[in-house]
């Protein structure tokens, strides 16, 4: 159900020149294929056999010692509301070092890449959400993507290519390539500048109140909260979106309402 937030004096945009999207849980359901991890770490273990001068842990143990430790460090960083993005290769390097494996950065990056490809193997982009991007482009609206993601940027952009998103997005920026996370204004500004639009000419669509809604509003963008894949409770202590949608296709009518409200 579409819900345009009530305001005593609605702040309308004469023309929406750009729409910026979050990525995971906004454009697609970012559920990771953890069932693929065992096969991945069996391959990782085989790769490490040539480097190891010790008995290697089992693939199951490597998942606990490496993958789960990296995931935990990332989660703790988000819980602490850190705005500086972490170096994924450094995280893997420290976790592997704790097992007694001191590896060159290139090899560690290869392991991080192997895990990434395993985790996103089943990731899909809903056709109806691709259709929304096509509609925006056909109407002359610029499209941007602003995502918090610790993974390797080149792999994230490869994912966008595979999912069919890249050809429908004018610019995509991930926190791992700029070094800061939403709600830091720099990551929003990089995309706005790349699109050559002012904040008041843009609408941001995301699933997180603090990172997406609050961050975009702090620059003067109007905002739409999507609850398609995850839901946050709206209350007075958190940023309040200008509209709430249950499915991304509802966005088209919301943009018309933003343009025509009195």
**What is the per-residue pLDDT across 90-103, written as a single tens digit (0 to 9) for each?**
999 999 999 989 99
Residue found by looking up tokens 């010790």 in the block = 54
pLDDT greater than 50 at residue 139: yes
**What is the per-residue pLDDT across 162-211, written as a single tens digit (0 to 9) for each?**
999 999 999 999 999 999 999 999 999 999 999 999 999 999 999 999 99
DSSP bridge partners of 172:
145
pLDDT greater than 70 at residue 261: no
Looking at per-residue confidence, does 194 or 256 come out higher?
194
What is the rounded average pLDDT for all residues in the chain? Answer: 92
Q: What was the pLDDT predicted at 109? A: 97
Mean pLDDT of all residues in 249-256: 95
- Give the torsion through C-alpha atoms of 11, 8, 260, 233, to 10 deg: 80
Looking at per-residue confidence, does 5 or 231 come out higher?
231
Chain centre distance of CA 97:
28
Determine if residue 187 is left, alpha or beta; phi over 0 gives left, psi from -120 to 50 gives alpha, anything else beta. alpha
Q: What was the pLDDT predicted at 156? A: 98
pLDDT greater than 50 at residue 9: no
Q: What was the pLDDT predicted at 262? A: 47
Band (pLDDT 50/70/90 cuts) for residue 6 is: very low
**What is the per-residue pLDDT across 22-67, written as a single tens digit (0 to 9) for each?**
999 999 998 877 789 999 999 999 999 877 777 899 999 999 999 9
> By the 8 A CB rule, do 181 and 187 touch?
yes
Percent of the chain with pLDDT over 70: 94
Q: What was the pLDDT predicted at 7? A: 41
């Amino acid at each position: 159900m579409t819900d345009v937030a009530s305001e005593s004096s609605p702040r309308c945009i004469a023309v929406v020149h750009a729409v910026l999207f979050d990525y995971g849980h906004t454009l697609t359901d970012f559920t990771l294929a953890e069932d693929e991890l065992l096969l991945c770490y069996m391959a990782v273990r085989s790769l490490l056999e040539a480097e190891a001068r010790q008995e290697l842990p089992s693939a199951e143990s490597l998942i606990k010692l490496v993958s789960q430790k990296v995931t935990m460090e990332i989660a703790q960083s988000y819980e602490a509301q850190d705005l500086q993005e972490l170096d994924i290769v450094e995280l893997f390097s420290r976790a592997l070092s704790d097992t007694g494996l001191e590896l060159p950065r290139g090899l560690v990056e290869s392991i991080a890449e192997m895990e990434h490809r395993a985790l996103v193997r089943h990731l899909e982009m809903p056709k109806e959400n691709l259709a929304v991007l096509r509609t925006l482009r056909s109407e002359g609206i610029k499209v941007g993507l602003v995502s918090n993601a610790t993974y390797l940027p080149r792999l994230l952009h490869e994912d966008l290519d595979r999912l069919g998103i890249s050809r429908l997005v004018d610019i995509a920026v991930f926190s791992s390539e700029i070094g800061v996370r939403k709600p830091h204004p720099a990551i929003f500004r990089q995309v706005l500048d790349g699109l050559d639009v002012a904040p008041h000419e843009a609408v941001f669509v995301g699933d997180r109140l603090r990172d997406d809604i609050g961050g975009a509003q702090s620059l003067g963008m109007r905002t739409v909260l999507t609850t398609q894949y995850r839901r946050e409770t709206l209350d007075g202590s958190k940023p309040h979106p200008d509209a709430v949608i249950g499915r991304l296709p509802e966005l088209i009518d919301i943009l018309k309402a933003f343009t025509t409200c009195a």
